[in-house]
Chains A and B, each alone.
Chain A
Amino acid sequence: MSTVKATRPLGPASRPRRRIKPVKIASFTALLLTTFLMLLPLFFMVSTSLKSKREMLKFPPTFLPESWAWSNYTDIFETLQFGTLYKNSLIIAGFSVFGTLLSSALVAYGFARYRGRGNNFWFILLLSTMMLPYPAIMIPQFVLFSKMQWIDTFLPLIVPAFFGSAYNIFLLRQFFSTLPEELFDAGRMDGCGELRMWRTIALPLSAPALATVAIFAFIYSWNDLLTPVLYLSSSDKFTLPVGMASLTSSRFRIPPWHLLMVASVLAMVPIVTLFAIAQKQFVEGIVLTGIK
């Protein structure tokens, strides 16, 4: 592997072997440029979040805030009940992740380790639920939950996660299938019950897959707008996306983009944190399975 020493002159003398290929420089530059382009919106998000309302309306827009309006970060808690929204979103996302992990891992384990009649049929049936778009089940589901008196509670947003989701089950099943049968045979010999094997053998070995599912479930719940809009009606129960959508809801006023950007910056924090934690899991998981 050639180590990158971009400052080294590329004269004919340095031609043999260690020369940095022009292709490499080109691709490196291209990557750097794309990274910059990708980061630009992010930069503007942070920059706009620190501008005053008046400065936000300016054209051409200022690159960095002229006067740093740090107070935006405290204002948002007053204009939007930001703390309540954040807490609600975290509660719902937390339970959703837990529910998804629990149910999907259990079902996936069953699909991966048992051979029974109609095994494939049920699995295909399960996968086919992925093809149902949400609007198709929206109204029947709403009727169901409203009959259960669950409207304006968190239950319709949390409970479905405990019933598994096709995509995550599929993902975990594929992972569980790769675990060597010998491990489970050993467990059986030691007198391990199936549930215990699931908990003590399958789950710990599947950290990377579980981390992936956790991230997916968290992001899905964290970003979901339609379901909370349908089921929640009082402001003290709203989630972050609902509150943020409402910020720009008025047809009659200039939307407070600067505050929306503050909300976006803060809304990013849990996802970035979770990703950082899960990424460590990823690496460790790969190392562990590698040894086995």
Chain B
Amino acid sequence: MKNMMKSKRYALLLATALTVTTVLAGCGGGKSAGNVAAGDSGAGSTGDPGKQVTISHYTIDSEDRTFIEKLIPDFEKAHPNIKVKVEKAPYEQFDSKLQTLIAGGNSPDVTSHYGYGGFAEYYNKDMLLDLTDLIKEDGFKAEDYNIPENLMKIYTVNGHTYGIPVNMYVTLMLYNKDMFDAAGVSYPPSDYEDKNWTFDRMVEDAKKMTLVSDDIAKTQYGVDFTWAERDMRPLYFGAEPYSEDTWTNGGVPSETHFDSPEVIAAYHKLFDLVFKDKVSPTSEWSKSVAGQNGDPFVAGKIGMSIGGSWNLAGANDFPFKVGVAAVPWGGNDKVRSTLYVDPLLILKDSKHPKEAFEWIKYLMTTEVQEKSIELSGGNPPVNTEAAEVYYKHFDGIDPEDVKKVYEGAVKYGYESYNHLITNYSQINDMFINELQPVETGHKTLEEVMPVIQKKVTEIIKR
């Protein structure tokens, strides 16, 4: 009896809840959920010439990403039927907001993989619009925008193009000229063809600059080689942890080799910098010196630092003289630099893909790409003509060096795994967690790598 009453109450409650939801949902007045902007009545992709449509560009809320707002007025003048609205989120919340926007039927039209997740993740979640037909219809040619053909290939899967590259970051070496001068070591070369510039020579140079003292203020290290994502690092020594087919089938590797002797040996070489040669700081030291997000190099405590070319953008603020150099040769004749090519993507749920593509093309023109360098505070363009302006952007750094390093990096570069492998944010988190005890010296690589191998396999199958 009591149970029945309870279930009756439950039914009543459910009914009330349902009514409330329907009534509230009805308030939308039948307008489509996606159309937030006024004056947008869902003209669709047919591109009614007289009708005005609003497209939204979703990006990270930081100056080097939101500069596109300043490009909108000129674009709207040239395309009176298209309005562009910029939607923003802080870096940490970028992915979750995007997922919610799409799930909530409010999908933006244009974005990039600026969060933790990469292209392959978007592709495998079926979030992206296949641009092939749009490109054909429009007659878009990469060469008209000075985009190198090999960069276009990165975001092409099985002959279908899903993204147009817009910015290209490479891996390079920044070095502290003051520290080199003090130790009497000659500057490293910016030329990738210089065969003397090897990993071992880098270690020798680093030894001369390393000074470990009880006084933490006096301690300094020769090199910081936290190069690229953790699973990417073996590649530099010629060991390949993911099977070949990963790059042709949308980022799902059929096999991984994280417990192979080659991969383990490669990691050993890197950890030797910290624990054997002692020319690199431990992660605890780095954190205590530079804070959670900081970089001990910026604090002037590191001689050479391998990192993304975005580090250049801060170079004007460094409290010391800085130079750029090539990443030394580590044993892989083909790959020495990680490339981070950011594409512009149109999302599958976009209601105005044609207009979105117009906007993308506008952002790719040489003139706009050149303007973007200044507006963004130094974002490297993929447009090779605009790149000439980029090379000259940094005070106190020889443009010739920047150019050499960039061109060498493209020649010896490989697109970052984080854009190319599926479920990458989970793989990355797992790597950070599992390698932590090795970085602090509490576990050996031989203990950890089989575990990583097992976990990677599980994550990829998800």
Contact = CB atoms under 8 A, between A and B. Distances in A.
Interface of A: 53-54, 57-60, 118, 121, 125, 138-139, 142-144, 146-149, 151-152, 225-226, 229-230, 233-235, 238, 242, 245-246, 248-255, 257
Interface residues on B, range: 35 or more
B177 to A, nearest CB: 17
Nearest to A244: B90
A252 B310 contact: yes
A230 B33 contact: no
Given A54-B317, A57-B298, A229-B96, 11 more contacts: A59-B289, A59-B290, A125-B13, A142-B100, A144-B24, A146-B104, A149-B29, A149-B36, A152-B36, A248-B91, A249-B62
Contacts of A148: 24-25, 27-28
A148 B310 CA distance: 41
Contacts of A248: 91, 293
A252 B62 CA distance: 10
B369 interface: no
B248 interface: no
Those 10 A-B pairs whose CB atoms lie nearest each other, nearest first? A252-B310, A245-B90, A249-B62, A233-B87, A250-B62, A246-B61, A147-B28, A142-B104, A249-B91, A59-B299
B278 interface: no
Contacts of A250: 60, 62-65, 91
Contact of A138 (B100, B290, B377): B100
Nearest to B94: A249
Given A246-B61, A253-B314, A235 B31 contact: no
B399 interface: no
Contacts of B61: 235, 238, 242, 245-246, 249
B9 A142 contact: no
Contacts of B90: 225, 229, 242, 245-246, 249
Contact of A149 (B28, B290, B311): B28
A125 B29 CA distance: 32
Contacts, number: 138
Contacts of A143: 33, 103-105
Nearest to A250: B62
A213 B421 CA distance: 48
Contact of B21 (A138, A144, A152, A238): A144
A54 B316 CA distance: 11
B377 A253 contact: yes
A254 B105 CA distance: 36
A238 B89 CA distance: 10
Interface in B76-102: 85-93, 96-97, 100
Given A148-B27, A152-B36, A235-B88, A118 B9 contact: yes
B338 to A, nearest CB: 14
A146 B106 contact: yes
A254 B60 contact: no
A183 B29 CA distance: 49
A20 B319 CA distance: 54
Interface string B306-322: 00101101100111000
Interface in B255-273: none
B1 interface: no
Contacts of B105: 143, 146
Contacts of A235: 61, 66, 88
Contacts of A146: 33, 36, 104-106
Contact of A230 (B9, B97, B299, B379): B97
12 contacts: A59-B217, A59-B299, A142-B104, A146-B36, A146-B105, A149-B36, A245-B61, A245-B93, A246-B90, A249-B61, A250-B63, A250-B65
Nearest to A149: B28
Contacts of B294: 254
A251 B310 contact: yes
Nearest to A229: B93
B330 to A, nearest CB: 25
